[in-house]
Amino acid sequence: MPILGLAPDRYPTKPAHFDIERVIRPNILSLHPYRCARDDYSEGILLDANENALGHSIPPSAASALEPEVQPTLALDLHRYPSPTHDPIKARLAELRGLPGTEWVFLGVGSDEVIDLLIRVCVAPGTEKVLITPPTYGMYAVCAQVNDVGVVKVPLVLEGEEGEGGERGRFAVDVEEVKKAISADPSIKLVFLCSPGNPTGTLISLSSIRSILEYEDFNGIVIVDEAYIDFADEKASAVTLLQEYGNLCVTQTLSKSFGLAAIRLGIAFAHPALVQILMNTKAPYNVSTPTASLALSALSPDAIELMKSKVSTLVKSRGELLRGLEQLRPLGLGAAIGGNDANFVMVPILEKNGSGRPDNVRAQKIYKTLAEHEGVVVRYRGGEPGCAGCVRITVGSDEEIKVVLQKLGELLKSL
């Protein structure tokens, strides 16, 4: 059955054993998408979409009370539905990540919407499953449960050299175990990998990803979540594999390196067949006009330069945070764990008696006291596999790093 809206046979790909029509749920494959009012005509006297011809009613007095940089938002065509496609944003993203064109790019309301949509189009409720590799981002399992699909867990390698990543280091993907799980359970439709990992901060090697993509027993799709990729080595992105593999989807976001978490713009880069399926299934106007306008500005050449310079500042600051944490080790703090390839670090809090063992109770006490008495909020992650005693600390501004190190030092002395 042809995928509606997809130009036929333009995109040869590997692997030979993969057939997207066996992955997408039959009800989605046969879907006749909702046609938007703006799919056909978007100029002229627009009386086709039951919008408000008189415009919005936010009074000028309210507009002048807004910060000057927010005011241009009110000059947008807010009474009109947004574009269902946002091709100019897709074109800039395709260029930024070295892809041939807009047909390789899907936009969602944050990458969280993309994750949910991928599950909805591929995995049948009640009978089919996704595979995740804990410790990992919590939304994969939450979305799976919301959609009533099963979750198979294959933990990352939890032992080994600190922060090595690569194919066998600590927090690497256990490729052989993933393959075993796939062979044992043909109902697994999606494999979620997170690179750099949250909360591990560890990159997944492209050779591990390739090995799962090429595994003949797997007829599903590998999703590589690259929310933090701009904080890592430029060559680490799995986007470079996309034109080779039809069973790969790479998700990214403007929430982290671009500093635009509030606007909710997430991205899936994938083979045009999968992008077309996602387009056919999404809500018609998922990305709002204010979001699109800000995203387009954020993807101009000047803005990308500025983003890169802020990322390099944060990467330097990450080094300073790690050096500051190292100095607190005599107070009962372990060495940072994971690859430190994102904009956060993970550090275990140890027993006070010098045993060197991670201490979840002390970690929780320090986490709570930091938040409730010192005004510094970090994230307790001690319950995650391989993360005993850990708190995750986002790399802040210079001043924020100074404060967190000082407060953490004080609490390590007193608690």
Q: Which residues bind ligand PLP (CB under 6 A)?
A: 110-112, 137, 194, 198, 225, 227, 253, 255, 261, 266
Cβ neighbours for 236, distance < 8 A, ≥ 6 positions apart: 195, 196, 203, 206, 229, 341
Considering the complex, state which of residue 90 and residue 362 has its C-beta at the smaller distance from ligand PLP: 90
Considering the complex, state which of residue 103 and residue 226 has its C-beta at the smaller distance from ligand PLP: 226
Give just the sign of the alpha carbon dihedral 120, 121, 126, 132: negative
Cβ neighbours for 213, distance < 8 A, ≥ 6 positions apart: 14, 15, 222, 241, 245, 247, 248
Considering the complex, state which of residue 202 and residue 280 has its C-beta at the smaller distance from ligand PLP: 202
* 278-311 residues labelled b (16+ CB within 10 A) or e (exposed): bbbbbeebbbbbbbbbbbeebbeeeebeebeeeb
Considering the complex, state which of residue 227 and residue 333 has its C-beta at the smaller distance from ligand PLP: 227
Cβ neighbours for 177, distance < 8 A, ≥ 6 positions apart: 154
Q: Report the C-alpha gap between 107 and 86 in whole angstroms.
A: 8
For residue 389, the minimal CB distance to ligand PLP (Å) is: 21
For residue 342, the minimal CB distance to ligand PLP (Å) is: 8
> Amino acid identity, residue 46?
L
Considering the complex, state which of residue 29 and residue 255 has its C-beta at the smaller distance from ligand PLP: 255
For residue 226, the minimal CB distance to ligand PLP (Å) is: 8
For residue 17, the minimal CB distance to ligand PLP (Å) is: 28
Considering the complex, state which of residue 247 and residue 255 has its C-beta at the smaller distance from ligand PLP: 255
Q: Are 347 and 325 in contact (CB under 8 A)?
A: yes
For residue 261, the minimal CB distance to ligand PLP (Å) is: 6
* Residue number, nearest CB to ligand PLP: 110
Residue 240's closest CA among 231, 250, 225? 250
For residue 225, the minimal CB distance to ligand PLP (Å) is: 5
Pairing of strands 150-153, 129-132: parallel
Considering the complex, state which of residue 227 and residue 279 has its C-beta at the smaller distance from ligand PLP: 227
Residue 109's closest CA among 257, 295, 280? 295
Distances (CA, A) of 401 to 200, 318, 329, 404: 20, 9, 16, 5
For residue 227, the minimal CB distance to ligand PLP (Å) is: 4
For residue 288, the minimal CB distance to ligand PLP (Å) is: 15
For residue 140, the minimal CB distance to ligand PLP (Å) is: 9
Considering the complex, state which of residue 227 and residue 370 has its C-beta at the smaller distance from ligand PLP: 227
For the CA atoms of 406, 410, 413, 415, the dihedral, rounded to the nearest 10 degrees, stands at -130
Q: Report the C-alpha gap between 354 and 361 in whole angstroms.
A: 15
Residue 97 CA neighbour count, 13 Å, CB half: 29
Distance from first CA to last CA of the chain, Å, rounded?
Answer: 64
Considering the complex, state which of residue 215 and residue 258 has its C-beta at the smaller distance from ligand PLP: 258
